[in-house]
């Protein structure tokens, strides 16, 4: 991953290149999704979905990330007691495959928007059909699949605090006692001194979404507000794992 910042005269505008994506942020105090894509649509994911090239780049990037760092966060805690797992907003089966490789006795349901699920199924490997399944839905508006463990991998950093608590509360209600939630994020140091990757992602969130990168204490506050307890944390190579129980 690399980032390049370009400025114009008087810092009236800033252009940021993150990997293969060009992100624009003008000093207007608002998101720049419409400017980036040249459309009236404000939702970054709807814009991504409308471009086959962009969505393939995005999914390819996440698949590369999970192949490199997935097992690092999945194996951070002993999750072997959870037989039914739901990867909320999981997109492709990349994270699920890493999970099954660590915990072969588990099954994973990938829960995501209909167009995302449809696209993911086209690249699905049939040999894993008994371990990995897909279910279409909107995790804010539709019922959540039943599971013992819910995974939110790079989901909460897209959302503001209110939406994070709403989603976590919904998962807490769906959880049976003893169930849990695993957050996969790049966690900021408590003094916000780093890591650098977290600050870069925060810039991206500022430009295109309502979320932000957070410290462990901030994630703990969100989890506790939703009803989870016994919050644990493990630092990873690139992504970190935050784990809460019901």
- 112: tokens are 């995501």
Concerning whether 157 is annotated as a catalytic residue, the answer is: yes
Helix pair 52-74, 94-102: axis angle to 10 deg: 20
Q: Please state, in angstroms and rounded to a whole number, the distance separating the CA atoms of residues 143 and 120.
A: 20
CB within 8 Å of 170: residues ≥ 6 apart = 139, 140, 144
Set 22, 157, 199, 238: catalytic member = 157
Q: Please state, in angstroms and rounded to a whole number, the distance separating the CA atoms of residues 180 and 212.
A: 23
In this structure, are residues 46 and 60 in contact, taking their beta carbons and an 8 Å threshold?
no
Q: Where are the beta strands (DSSP E) in 94-166?
A: 107-112, 132-136, 149-153
Q: What is the CA radius of gyration of the chain?
A: 18
Q: Which residues are catalytic?
A: 157
């Amino acid at each position: 991953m690399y980032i390049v910042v370009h400025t114009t005269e008087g810092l009236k505008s800033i252009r940021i290149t993150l990997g293969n994506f060009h992100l624009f942020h003008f000093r207007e105090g608002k998101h720049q999704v419409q400017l980036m894509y040249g459309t009236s649509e404000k939702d970054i994911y709807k814009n991504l979905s409308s471009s086959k090239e962009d969505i393939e780049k995005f999914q390819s990037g996440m698949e590369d990330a999970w192949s490199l760092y997935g097992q690092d966060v999945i194996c951070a805690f002993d999750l072997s007691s959870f037989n039914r797992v739901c990867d909320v907003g999981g997109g492709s089966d990349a994270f699920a495959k890493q999970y099954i490789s660590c915990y072969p006795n588990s099954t994973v349901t990938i829960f995501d928007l209909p167009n995302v699920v449809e696209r993911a199924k086209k690249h699905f490997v049939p040999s894993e059909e008994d371990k990995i399944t897909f279910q279409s839905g909107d995790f804010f508006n539709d019922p959540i699949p039943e599971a013992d463990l819910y995974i939110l991998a790079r989901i909460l950093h897209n959302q503001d605090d209110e939406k994070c608590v709403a989603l976590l509360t919904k998962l807490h209600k769906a959880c049976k006692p003893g169930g849990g939630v695993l957050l996969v994020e790049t966690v900021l140091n408590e003094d916000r001194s780093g890591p650098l990757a977290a600050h870069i992602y925060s810039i991206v969130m500022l430009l295109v979404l309502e979320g932000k990168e957070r410290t462990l204490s901030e994630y703990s506050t969100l989890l506790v507000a939703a009803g989870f307890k016994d919050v644990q944390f493990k630092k990873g190579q690139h992504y970190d794992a935050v784990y809460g129980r019901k």
